[in-house]
Each structure stands twice: as structure tokens, then as C-alpha cells.
């Protein structure tokens, strides 16, 4: 039986999917803790995965996620954690992962994926996530700009705005679902979203051996408060005893890890002083 050739649109979207899959494969190698599963096409989600848009609509799914997180924390640290601490840790993890699905291609390829809520899925059992690649926004000089499925934006500023909008749209779903489980207001919750968007870009800079490039890129993306993000990237410099300077920032939100392990607050936690930060850099 002869099959009719695929339409130009179908071929183009498939090409965009292929390019984005390649980027996500690289992202997965750079960020193995992401636990990323790349799936080629939308399909039944089943019992093991929950689409991002489902979390706020179905509280029972969120209950399963929180119960699994509670069990993991008890196993790792030997004590049960307060419900709001567990919820904060889940929100932090999901914000970091979902932001990286957008900021990774933006940083590595100057492309912003156009992901629908059903294209991002969270594991109900462990800390993994799924993504369904599709089209993306890009710049006019991108080799993929002529492909159907690619949305061409006029300049870098427009691409940055695309990323901010996409990240805030995803974060809004997570904040709507998990925000009521935390003891914090909107500014603190959006501060967490901003922190994880910036942290993912910074992480990729270190992973690719060009931290300063990533710091500059994050600073250009969020040079100041850009609603709903409340503070901007806010990088500053630390100076070691030998005159070497290092980038650092102080988180706007808080993931509450200090409540789990008081001696191991995050390096960017407001509770961590500059002397401790420099000591950690030296030890690393």
C-alpha cells in the first residue's frame, strides 16, 4: 500500500520536534538529576504521570506527590517533616525542573519551547519528569526559522520576554496547586519561581564551563523586577583572599531546606553569610 507523503506542515513540526529532542537530550546529560524522559508524542498519561495542568484541578494527585515526598525525606533524614516544609520542597523541585525545560533550550540554542500544560508531566512515584517536544520560538537568524512550527521573534528582547512569559505561565499552575499548602504569600512564592529560573541558567553555565556567560544571560533576562518576578537576578561579586571574584546572589524566596538540615542551608540562602559562601567555593 502506498502512503501519501506527509504535508509540509507535518514535516516541519516533526523537524522542530527533532531539533528540540536533540536539545533536551543534551540538557539531560548536563543535568542528570533532572530525571528527564523525552516522549515523542502526546499519549495517555496513565497512573505513573500527572500533567502539569492537572495538579491544581485534582488535589488527590497532589496528595500522592506529597506523600511520596514525605516518605523520601523520612528515609533520607530519619525524621518526618512538617507538611508545609514538604510542600515547599516539592514546589522548589518542580519549579526548578519545569523552568529548566524552558530556560535550557533558551540558553543552549536561543530557542524557547512552546510547551502546553499537557506536554510537561510529573512522576507520581519519584523525582522524574517528562516532556513532549514540539514547536519553539526562535530568532530570525536561527537555521530553523523557516520551518513550520518555528515562531520567529524579532530580537533577543522578544525572545527573553517569551521565556519570562512561558516560565510564569508554568509557575502559575504550580503555585496555584501548592501555594495553599505553604505558609507564605504571593511575593515569596513568586520569589521561589524567580530563584529557580535563575538557578537553572546559572547551573547550565557551570555545567558547560562558562559560568560568567550564564550569569550575564540571567542578568539580562531579569535585570530588575519584571512582574510577576519580584526582584531580578540580583547577582553580585564575592572577593576571595587572593583577589579572585566569584558571582553569587541571595534567594528571594526560600526552599526551607534549612528546616530539614540546619547545618546545610543553601549557598544562596539569606541565612548563609559571605564568609561561609567563600569557604564553600574554596572547598569545592
* pLDDT tens sequence across 214-227: 999 999 999 999 99
Please give the full DSSP string across the chain, using - where no structure is assigned: -PPPPPPHHHHHHHHHHHHHHHHHHHHHHH-GGG-EEE-SS-----SSEEETTHHHH-HHHHHHHHHHHHHHHHHHHSS---HHHHHHHHHHHHHHHHHHHHHHHHHHHS-EE---GGGEEEESSSS-EEE----EEE-TT-TTTTSTTEEE-SSHHHHHHHHHHHHHHHHHHHHHHHGGGSS--HHHHHHHHHHHHHHHHHHHHHHTT-HHHHHHHHHHHSSS-BTTB-S----EEEE-TTS-EEEE---SS---HHHH-GGG--TTSTTS-HHHHHHHHHH-
Rounded distance between C-alpha atoms, residue 103 and residue 112, angstroms: 7
Please give the full DSSP string across 80-142, using - where no structure is assigned: ---HHHHHHHHHHHHHHHHHHHHHHHHHHHS-EE---GGGEEEESSSS-EEE----EEE-TT-
CA distances from 240 to 155, 248, 264, 278, 279 (A): 38, 12, 21, 7, 9
Beta-strand relationship, 49-51 and 36-38: unpaired
Residue 267 is predicted with a pLDDT of 84
Cβ-in-10-Å burial (0-12, 13-18, 19+) of 224 comes to exposed
Q: Which three cell numbers stand for residue 65?
A: 506527590
Paired with 248 in beta bridges are 236
Q: Whole-model pTM?
A: 0.91
Rounded distance between C-alpha atoms, residue 49 and residue 40, angstroms: 15
Q: 160-178 pLDDT, tens per residue?
A: 999 999 999 999 999 999 9
User: 53 with 117: CB under 8 angstroms?
Assistant: yes
Task: Say which residues have a Cβ less than 8 Å from residue 68's Cβ, sequence separation at least 6.
Answer: 124, 125, 126
Residue 13 is predicted with a pLDDT of 58
- pLDDT block averages, 10 residues each, the chain of length 284: 32 77 97 93 69 89 91 84 91 96 98 95 91 96 94 98 98 95 92 97 97 98 97 94 89 83 79 85 67
Rounded distance between C-alpha atoms, residue 162 and residue 156, angstroms: 10
Residue 9 is predicted with a pLDDT of 39
Task: Say which residues have a Cβ less than 8 Å from residue 284's Cβ, sequence separation at least 6.
Answer: none
Amino acid at each position: 500500500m502506498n502512503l501519501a507523503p506527509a504535508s509540509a506542515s507535518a514535516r516541519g513540526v516533526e523537524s522542530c520536534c527533532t531539533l528540540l529532542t536533540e536539545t533536551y537530550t543534551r540538557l539531560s546529560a548536563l543535568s542528570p538529576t533532572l530525571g528527564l524522559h523525552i516522549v515523542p508524542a502526546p499519549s495517555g498519561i496513565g497512573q505513573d504521570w500527572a500533567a502539569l495542568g492537572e495538579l491544581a484541578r485534582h488535589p488527590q494527585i497532589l496528595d500522592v506527590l506529597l506523600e511520596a515526598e514525605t516518605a523520601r525525606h523520612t528515609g533520607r533524614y530519619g525524621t518526618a517533616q512538617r507538611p508545609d516544609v514538604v510542600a515547599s520542597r516539592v514546589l522548589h523541585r518542580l519549579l526548578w525542573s519545569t523552568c529548566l525545560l524552558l530556560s535550557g533550550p533558551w540558553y543552549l540554542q536561543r530557542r524557547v519551547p512552546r510547551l502546553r500544560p499537557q506536554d510537561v508531566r510529573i512522576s507520581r512515584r519519584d523525582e522524574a519528569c517528562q516532556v513532549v517536544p514540539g514547536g519553539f520560538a526562535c530568532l530570525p537568524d536561527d537555521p530553523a526559522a523557516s520551518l513550520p512550527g518555528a515562531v520567529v521573534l524579532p530580537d533577543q528582547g522578544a525572545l527573553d520576554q517569551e521565556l519570562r512569559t512561558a516560565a510564569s505561565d508554568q509557575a502559575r499552575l504550580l503555585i496555584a496547586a501548592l501555594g495553599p499548602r505553604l505558609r507564605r504569600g504571593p511575593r515569596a512564592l513568586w520569589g521561589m519561581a524567580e530563584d529557580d529560573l535563575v538557578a537553572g541558567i546559572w547551573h547550565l553555565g557551570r555545567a558547560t564551563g562558562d559560568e560568567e556567560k550564564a550569569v550575564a544571560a540571567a542578568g539580562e533576562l531579569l535585570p530588575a523586577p519584571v512582574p510577576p518576578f519580584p526582584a531580578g537576578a540580583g547577582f553580585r561579586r564575592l572577593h576571595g583572599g587572593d583577589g579572585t571574584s566569584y558571582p553569587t546572589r541571595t534567594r528571594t524566596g526560600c526552599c526551607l531546606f534549612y528546616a530539614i538540615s540546619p547545618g546545610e542551608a543553601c549557598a544562596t540562602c539569606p541565612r548563609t553569610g559571605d564568609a561561609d559562601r567563600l569557604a564553600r567555593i574554596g572547598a569545592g
